[in-house]
Structure 1
Amino acid sequence: MEELYSRLVKGCQSANPHAQKEVFAILGGKIKAICFRYCSDFHIAEDLMQESFVTVFSKIDQFNNLGSFEGWVKRIAVNTSLQWLRKQKDFILVDNLQYSKDRDWTDHEHEDELLDVISGEKLVQIIAQLPKGYRVVLNLHAIEGYSHREIGEKLGVTEVTSRTQYHRAKNLLKIKILQELKLVHY
């Protein structure tokens, strides 16, 4: 695959529309899925995907072949999505949410088993229902693999805020999955 990407990168650097079209055909679905995870709206995800590819093709000369081309394109999509999120008036990361004291938020027994009994499509739908701040940190850490320090730098928050948002997102995700499976009512 890297050999194919190497050929396509050279074609894109020469502004070859066939190479650009092939890159879009290969990576378009993955990039749109990444964008959707951050905005939860298919139309906006499509716009963000297109904006990401405009950035990819305009900055293709900056790709240095040291890492994966697909990874480079995915980072551009994540950054494009984060730029869009920062412009949204309702995107807030919070540190001081109060939870019900009668709920045992530390009970993580069988947590991984929940993911085995729910479809990937349903999981994406549930994640899309999370508050934006939770969803963004969950995506960046659990899916994209960013450290909490990196997330803090990208979002302009502390590492502690990132960790807090991530753990709260996991707790809320677990509750929503349990509700979906009708194993618990909240």
Structure 2
Amino acid sequence: MTEEDLIEACRQNDRRAQKTLYDRYSTVMYGVCKRYVKSPEDAEDVLVEAFYKVLTNLHQYKGSGSFEGWIRRIVVNESLMFLRKRHNFRLTLEISEVDQPTTTNVINRMAAEDILGLLSKLPTGYRTVFNLYVLEGYKHREIADMLGISINTSKSQLILAKKKMQDMLEDFGYPGLQKFNK
């Protein structure tokens, strides 16, 4: 079944098609949820809510752009809604001036598995901003609007997340870390 046929069948409330859609995209989207939400149970809850919204709002998908990208945006938004209910992003530290090294950052050189493993250890605010900025490609202004924080808070959370990840790498003796810190 093609993606277009699947979408049309889901719009017609075909339960088999809805299950096929869920089966096709749920594994990848669960990974997206896990980047934001630590607990596997909470990530599953977010995933179910997100797919409910996907299926009830399929009429809004116009066919332009990636369908998977459209689903991902819903999953990210649902993850953020979950986090906003449980965490106050406004109670974060703002840093007005931080020296950022101009050399290549170790975070940009890490393997994806290393990043995902470290992300789960970051505080919620750091993890959320890092995900939105580095992995999802949002700008600080967009992140600030999404989370109800200032642009400077978004920037400082990203800087602190990178610093915390680098510290964790040093603690783990990550290979090649010294060459990136020079």
- Bin the TM-score by the shorter chain: 0.7 to 0.9
Listed as ranges, the gaps of 5+ residues in structure 1 are 98-103
What is the aligned-residue identity percentage? 32
* Farther off after superposition, 128-137 or 105-114: 105-114
Q: Which residue of 2 aligns with 1:19?
A: 17
Relative to structure 1, the CA distance from residue 150 to residue 112 in structure 2 (aligned partners, 3 Å threshold; closer, same or farther) is same
Let me know the Cα RMSD of the aligned residues.
2.5
Q: Give 4+ residue runs of structure 1 displaced > 6 Å after superposition.
A: none
Q: How much does 1:179 deviate?
A: 1.5
Q: Which residue of 2 aligns with 1:79?
A: 77
Q: How much does 1:142 deviate?
A: 0.5
Post-superposition CA distance 1:95-115 (Å, at most 9, x none): 347xxxxxx964464524874
Q: How much does 1:25 deviate?
A: 1.4
* Distance in 1 (alpha carbons) for counterparts of 2:64 and 2:107: 38
Relative to structure 1, the CA distance from residue 167 to residue 95 in structure 2 (aligned partners, 3 Å threshold; closer, same or farther) is same
Using the size of structure 2 for normalisation, the TM-score is 0.85
The answer to whether the 8 Å contact 1:92/1:132 transfers is: no
* Distance in 1 (alpha carbons) for counterparts of 2:2 and 2:169: 40
The answer to whether the 8 Å contact 1:35/1:81 transfers is: yes
Relative to structure 1, the CA distance from residue 93 to residue 54 in structure 2 (aligned partners, 3 Å threshold; closer, same or farther) is same
Q: Which residue of 2 aligns with 1:136?
A: 128
Equivalences for residues 1-186 of structure 1 within 5 A:
4-89=2-87, 93-96=91-94, 106-107=100-101, 109-112=103-106, 115-116=109-110, 120-181=112-173
Post-superposition CA distance 1:19-49 (Å, at most 9, x none): 2112111111111111111111111111111
* Distance in 1 (alpha carbons) for counterparts of 2:107 and 2:156: 23
Aligned length: 175
